[in-house]
Amino acid sequence: MFKSVGLVARFDKKPALRLAESLSDYLKSKNLEVFIEDSLCGKVNTKAKPVSLKNMKTDFIVTIGGDGTILRTCVAIPKPEPPILAINMGVRGFLTEAEPKDAYKAVDRCLKDDFLIEKCCKLAASTDEGAIPDALNDVVVSTGEPSKILYTQIFKDNEPILRCQADGLIVATQTGSTGYSLSAGGPVLDLDVDAFVLTPICSLTVFRSIVLPADSRITIKAIRPKKMLVLIDGYHHQLLTTETPTLTVTRSKNMTSFIRFKDTFYDRLRNRLLFKGMG
């Protein structure tokens, strides 16, 4: 039984902020302890307790926005992560579950324990300078400068497998295979495929995506230039400038859990990703 809830909303859409306000009041009326992301203070009129994402230790979280709102939430919230009910106020909202008009009905189903949990694997990344946040979608490396080639050596389980000359590289989960990796020409991975995908960005060499077992240990070493920008889910970034900038990616022990009602992965793929564009 849920007793506490966190609310996260995109900042740039007034309807998202207004829905956050009304959902806060509604959840309070259901006797839940309600917390709201502290960056929304001053933007919404609510009696919910402000808290930073890194301190949002609640029984579940409601995000109001698109996939970007979900990703920035998952990068920052404490581990293990509480389940997420995602209300779609994005462009595609591939990862979301309910439309705004169904938000109250979705919340009621959560409170009645009438839902399923979809667990999504994450990637753990570490650098010469230590660990960085896990990725739900992808870990991307580049030089950090547009159109500047990154020369890398790639290892699988400490064995060299190839050299790559490209604008960058994407290591994506099953979830992330529908995002940047797909746009770069990578395949879509079924959620039941225990794997992740390595996709180059504008490769100069004859190199397309490689699907790798999820228990693989992938190491990327920058040959030149002697720097490498690491980007986690589009939100956390870290510039490596050691003698041989090195990134290691493995399966994370953490997972992201989504509250689902009926739509399957392929329903979302057909209805939101393959046939829905800018709106």
State the average pLDDT for the chain.
93
User: Do 34 and 147 share a domain, yes or no?
Assistant: no
User: Do 25 and 75 share a domain, yes or no?
Assistant: yes
User: Do 137 and 247 share a domain, yes or no?
Assistant: yes
Least confident range from 79-88, 204-213, 214-223, 232-241: namely 204-213
Better-scored residue on pLDDT, 279 or 213: 213
Average pLDDT over residues 125-150: 92
Contact assessment for residue 62 and residue 85, using Cβ atoms and an 8 Å cutoff:
yes
- Any domain includes 13: yes
Burial of 275 (0-12, 13-18, 19+ CB in 10 A): exposed
Q: How confident is the model at residue 278 (pLDDT cuts 50, 70, 90)?
A: very low
Choose among 171, 138, 134, 133: nearest CA to 152: 171
CATH number, domain with residue 221: 2.60.200.30
- Any domain includes 193: yes
The pLDDT of residue 279 is: 43
Average pLDDT over residues 173-198: 95
Tell me the longest C-alpha to C-alpha distance in the chain.
59
pLDDT tens figures, 231-248: 999 999 999 998 999 999
User: Do 163 and 92 share a domain, yes or no?
Assistant: no
Judged against a pLDDT cut of 90, whether residue 178 lies above it is answered with yes
Does the annotation mark 67 as catalytic? yes
Q: How confident is the model at residue 225 (pLDDT cuts 50, 70, 90)?
A: very high
Full domain range(s) for residue 179: 122-253
User: Do 59 and 157 share a domain, yes or no?
Assistant: no
Question: How many domains are there within the chain?
Answer: 2
User: Do 166 and 229 share a domain, yes or no?
Assistant: yes
Residue with tokens 């933007």: 43
pLDDT tens figures, 81-110: 999 999 999 877 889 999 999 999 999 999
Catalytic position from the list 67, 134, 138, 167: 67
- Any domain includes 210: yes
User: Do 126 and 210 share a domain, yes or no?
Assistant: yes
DSSP 190: P
- Any domain includes 279: no
- Any domain includes 236: yes
User: Do 269 and 247 share a domain, yes or no?
Assistant: no
User: Do 108 and 203 share a domain, yes or no?
Assistant: no
Q: Which two tokens stand for residue 21?
A: 């306000």
Torsion of CA 138, 144, 150, 153, to 10 degrees: -50
User: Do 15 and 108 share a domain, yes or no?
Assistant: yes
- Indicate the helix (H) or strand (E) that contains 158: none
Residue with tokens 């997420």: 84
CATH number, domain with residue 63: 3.40.50.10330
Judged against a pLDDT cut of 90, whether residue 128 lies above it is answered with no
- Any domain includes 169: yes
- Any domain includes 73: yes
Judged against a pLDDT cut of 70, whether residue 275 lies above it is answered with no
